[in-house]
């Protein structure tokens, strides 16, 4: 009888450890996915000054657009929390759309090799960033499900907090930019 009780206790301990380790692994995947987003945000921030300088040479009178991109980039660089970075990144994405829409009005700019290369790199970064956001949201969903569903909710208790996925906070970011001359 003692052996049966010991086996049951051992099975419960192994079960508890397995569930807890699974939750920790999911939380770590979320953190890693966020770091991937952070890396892509930094890459984008590094490319933007070069792109802005290239565009400045062709579109001197588009200073408001260029200033908006510069300000949005600074907001991303200055954000400290994941939530602040999400909001600033969404704003930057919107200003970049406007910048690329402005570039459509300048055929010489679109033909410039430096601009094309920077635009391609930035588009590649935006694609990677989009994928990283989707991956992050998948990790967050998996983690939140693990801590909120039975039996994970018993093991998680109050030790594990729900995570927020990456969302578009500004509905205007979903709209195509309007450029008027």
Q: Which pLDDT belongs to residue 58? A: 67
Q: What is the pLDDT of residues 40-75, one digit of tens each?
A: 988 888 888 888 777 777 666 567 777 888 899 899
Is the model's pLDDT at 176 over the cut of 70?
Answer: no
Give the separation between CA 69 and CA 75, rounded to whole angstroms.
10
Stretch 122-146: mean pLDDT: 94
Q: What domains does the chain contain, in order, with CATH numbers?
A: 2-174 (1.20.1440.20)
- Please tell me whether residue 171 adopts helix, strand or coil conformation: helix
Cα distances (Å, whole numbers) of residue 161 to 79, 111, 135, 145, 158: 22, 50, 19, 12, 7
Outline where DSSP puts E strands in the chain: none
Q: Which pLDDT belongs to residue 48? A: 85
Provide φ and ψ at 161, rounded to 5°.
-100, 145
Q: Which pLDDT belongs to residue 62? A: 65
Give the separation between CA 168 and CA 148, rounded to whole angstroms.
24
Is the model's pLDDT at 127 over the cut of 80?
Answer: yes
Provide φ and ψ at 11, rounded to 5°.
-65, -40
Cα distances (Å, whole numbers) of residue 20 to 24, 140, 176: 6, 16, 45
Task: Count the residues in the chain.
Answer: 181
Rounded to 10°, the helix 82-103/2-58 angle is 30
Q: Which two tokens stand for residue 169?
A: 């906070």
Give the separation between CA 106 and CA 179, rounded to whole angstroms.
13
Asked if residues 144 and 162 have their Cβ atoms less than 8 Å apart, the reply is: yes
Give the separation between CA 47 and CA 59, rounded to whole angstroms.
18
pLDDT averaged over the chain?
A: 85
Q: What is the pLDDT of residues 138-155, one digit of tens each?
A: 999 999 999 999 999 999
């Amino acid at each position: 009888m003692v052996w049966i009780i010991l086996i049951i206790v051992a099975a419960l301990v192994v079960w508890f450890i397995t569930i807890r380790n699974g939750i920790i692994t999911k939380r770590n995947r979320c953190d890693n996915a966020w770091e991937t987003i952070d890396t892509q945000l930094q890459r984008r921030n590094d490319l933007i000054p070069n792109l802005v300088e290239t565009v400045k040479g062709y579109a001197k009178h588009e200073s408001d657009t260029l200033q908006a991109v510069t300000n949005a980039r600074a907001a991303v660089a200055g954000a400290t929390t994941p939530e602040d970075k999400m909001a600033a990144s969404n704003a930057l994405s919107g200003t970049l759309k406007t910048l690329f829409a402005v570039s459509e009005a300048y055929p010489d700019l679109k033909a410039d090799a430096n601009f094309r290369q920077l635009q391609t790199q930035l588009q590649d970064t935006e694609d990677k960033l989009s994928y990283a956001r989707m991956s992050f949201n998948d990790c967050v969903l998996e983690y939140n499900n693990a801590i909120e569903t039975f039996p994970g909710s018993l093991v998680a208790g109050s030790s594990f907090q729900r995570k927020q996925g990456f969302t578009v906070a500004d509905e205007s970011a979903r709209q195509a930019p309007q450029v008027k001359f």
